[in-house]
Structure 1
């Protein structure tokens, strides 16, 4: 077994943000402009579940490795959760290209003088205090467009891309301006977990509501209703591949980003640095069978901070995003929710190699991967509910 690590979670005044959200006159109109930010804001994150999940992070393959299967946060999954497409242009490329007050004012429907007067510097970082923005949004004289734009920016700065306490920094402002937050959100998710895994520091997790919503989208409905005598760690260690919900809304993507530029897989730039991830490991999450050990895994340490990035590495990441490789799902074969024995055995071996963070709760077998794996008696009742769910899911695969 490997040692578990501690993670910190940013404390955010969600009550004030949710009260401001009640002043949105047209949630549908807000969603058309800013995506699914309101649903993200209403997410009540179970921090213990997230803390348990990240213990399964596999730093070499940039995924979560469980006893006999793997799950991978993907660009397509985050796009679905945020309700915004991955734009056909280079995303946020890191700190250094500050927007002018004129541009920020247009984004927030404010006067340029207001932006100039209230942009401040905190710990050598430019931005807005979270006190000024809510006060401006709550004024009776503030127009609806301004109120909603400020709410969206507050969610970016305090919930999705938190940095300094009670402060919306220039990184969040620039990502908000880009209208292309998905690659940066995924980058920050991986970067924060990877850093903590490698260096053992108390790194604050980023994009926690998205990570949480992504994970629970793969969990069976019985996961939470049968926890009376189980801890999160025990329940996750008892999960079988047949219990996992593979066919999430993200699986309906028509194209998958498989790589960028000269990189074997997908390089990502976040607010703190760069990292890569392996979409090939998510093949099953897009509805296609995992047949054997993936052959295009990037095991090189594509991980850096902007403060100490090797010469040219950041520029190479930026250039790669001008050459995005996409694959149509039509070319991935016949949809199927199974994994072949060769892959399942490889996943089991990988889990043994890196070590699981908690004791085993069931036996493992790769001999019949499309059949339910044996469960301890305490989970047999849970599994009956899943059998009906699996039958429905198989019918969906045939559509």
Structure 2
């Protein structure tokens, strides 16, 4: 099941009607803002050098920082995520084919012949299914990327549990920690995790706030949206 390109997903989202966007925000939170977060490679390489393999945290001098469940949940801002319901792999997991049929509501013949998430997002007869498949595309491309350019089977497994209000945050954090440790051990290993969300977490600790706006205490306040519209200098070298 080949994943979509990031640019394709951004174009699809920009063309969606407000009604569909609101349905997406209600069911899956602020995931679409991750499509607009530019990954600063110089900053990311510099940040990875501060990852402490022993304690699994970032160590800046005498200060330790590490993403937490609460912080990532706040960034994703999905009302249906419940912290007390963690994802786990059940004993009798349906086959990959059955999971795709359930998620897409397409026939076995169609799924076996070809899976193209872009076509389903644009042309599926069920509006909610278009929203679901778009969300799965973001999970497959941004949240749990694969180096080979395909959607991981584990994404469909976890995605099936999102409908049961299960939080994906522990799985996201585990993938992030493992990827950071792999980068540190290998030196130049590719980070295979949600770089956009990790950078959003990092930026959130260093925003210069002269006056706290009342908006941050509102239920509708979106930290990811704030990050996207906040201007940043992105021409800084890795050394600097």
- The answer, yes or no, to whether TM exceeds 0.5 is yes
Report the secondary structure of 1:60's partner residue. Answer: coil
Please say if 1:135 is aligned against 2:119.
yes
Q: Secondary structure at the match of 1:168?
A: coil
Within 5 Å, give how 1:164-183 maps onto structure 2: 164-179=147-162, 180-183=167-170
Match of 1:51 in 2: 45
User: CA-atom RMSD, angstroms?
Assistant: 3.1
CA contact (8 A) 1:24 1:148 kept: no
- State the partner residue of 1:114: 110
Listed as ranges, the gaps of 5+ residues in structure 1 are 1-11, 119-127, 235-399
CA contact (8 A) 2:39 2:199 kept: yes
1:77 is matched with 71
Q: How far did residue 226 of structure 1 move?
A: 7.4
Going from structure 1 to structure 2, the CA distance change for 1:207 and 1:108 (only over 3 Å counts) comes to same
CA contact (8 A) 2:86 2:170 kept: no
Hey, what's the Cα distance between the residues in 2 that align with 1:231 and 1:110? Answer: 48
Q: Provide closer, same or farther for how the CA distance between residues 227 and 143 of structure 1 changes in structure 2, counting only shifts above 3 A.
A: closer
Aligned partner of 1:62 in structure 2 is 56
Structure 2 match to 1:147: 130
What does residue range 238-387 of structure 1 map to in structure 2 within 5 Å? none
Structure 2 CA distance for aligned equivalents of residues 137 and 102 of structure 1: 19
Deviations 1:131-176 (A, max 9, x none): x11123223x643223222211111111111114332121111111
State the 1:100 CA deviation.
5.3
Q: Match for 1:184 among 157, 171, 174?
A: 171
| CA-to-aligned-CA distance 1:52-102 (integer Å, 9 cap, x gap) | 1111011111111112312111111111122233443341449x9454544
1:162 is aligned to 2:145: yes
Q: Which has the higher contact order (CA 8 A, sep 6+)?
A: 2
Q: Aligned-pair distance for 1:105?
A: 2.7
DSSP-derived class of the 1:147 partner: helix
Contact 1:109–1:145, Cα closer than 8 Å, also in 2: no
Unaligned segments of structure 2, at least 5 residues:
210-229
Deviation at 1:177, TM superposition (A): 1.2
Residue 83 to residue 231, structure 1, CA distance change in 2 (3 Å)? same
- 2: distance between equivalents of 1:168 and 1:225? 31
For residue 31 of structure 1, report the CA deviation from its aligned partner.
1.1
Larger Rg, first or second structure (1 or 2): 1
Q: 1:106 to 1:91 in 2, by over 3 A?
A: same
Determine if contact 2:144/2:194 at 8 Å carries over to the other structure.
Answer: yes
